[in-house]
Amino acid sequence: MPEPLSYYDRLAGQAAIVTGAGAPGEEMGNGRAIALLFAREGARVCVVTRDRANAERTVAIIEAFGGEAFACAGDVTHAEDCERIVAEALAAFGTLDILVNNVGRGFGGPKLADIDDATWREIVDINLTGAFHMCRAAIPALIEGRGKAIVNISSTAGQRAHGSLGYGPAKAALDAFTREIATVYGRQGIRANIVSPGHLHTPHVANNPQLAPLREKRRKVGPLGIEGDAWDVAAATLFLASPEARLITGVLLPVDAGVSQIAAMTGHSLIEGP
């Protein structure tokens, strides 16, 4: 979808942390799109990524349209970095209302023999443990905040086998972790939900020599037959973080043109069609 042109201050006055929200150059990944849309809707945003320069590029875009944001460099696989990120957000904003855990990455070989112990731990750390660290650091502040919303960005690989022995299981664990957060902290007003992107066309896909040639197949396999991008993820995340979703918690929202809801043979027939 194109970048939204209409905004409604749905997050006015709220403070948000968005991890994985930087990107090289002008690339529009999921995290950057989420941070930009949140700022357009009135949120003050702590833009987190390991590379400060990439975070500062996102901040510059936000400041150019009059939004408020600051860059925070940190590695969410390190608990001490997550504690510092939350502390910096509180120092800048005085409150914390929304946490978006967007950090994730798929890698590792196709067979168990291709994944050594160090790679396995890295896959789990990036796709699961980072969200655990951020939630543990942020929840005390979220309890005191107004929005009290956590949105974790997962993947359809967590619900359907994609031939990924590390990434898929880690995302499935993230989904389960999110539901537990929703259950344990619901009485304290915290809502925790999952956005599950499917075959979107993002810079990660465009720059991947294995995925880029499959662009048309990825589009056709969904019942809608249209191509999604980072703005689709951002719009879904905005909804789940906003007061409009006040009665929604523990849910998984696929953003995938319906591909996770169809059988394999149906998907095959769609690829062969127009």
DSSP string, 1-35: -PPP-----TTTT-EEEEET---STT---HHHHHH
Q: How far apart are CA 18 and CA 100, in angstroms?
A: 5
Q: Are 23 and 32 in contact (CB under 8 A)?
A: yes
258, two tokens? 């319906």
Q: How far apart are CA 74 and CA 110, in angstroms?
A: 30
Helix H or strand E segment including 178: helix 167-185
What does each of the 274 residues of the chain score in pLDDT, given as a tens digit? Answer: 788 989 999 999 999 999 999 998 889 999 999 999 999 999 999 999 999 999 999 999 999 999 999 999 999 999 999 999 999 999 999 999 999 999 999 888 789 999 999 999 999 999 999 999 999 999 999 999 988 999 999 999 999 988 889 999 999 999 999 999 999 999 999 999 999 999 998 887 888 888 778 889 899 999 999 999 999 999 999 999 999 999 999 999 999 999 999 998 999 899 987 7
User: What is the predicted pLDDT for the residue at 211?
Assistant: 78
CATH class of residue range 15-272: alpha beta
Q: How far apart are CA 236 and CA 189, in angstroms?
A: 20
With b for 16 or more beta-carbon neighbours within 10 A and e for fewer, the 7-37 pattern comes to eeebbeebbbbbbbbbbeeebbbbbbbbbbb
User: What is the predicted pLDDT for the residue at 195?
Assistant: 98
SS3 148: coil
Is 185 annotated in the active site?
no
Q: Are 178 and 193 in contact (CB under 8 A)?
A: yes
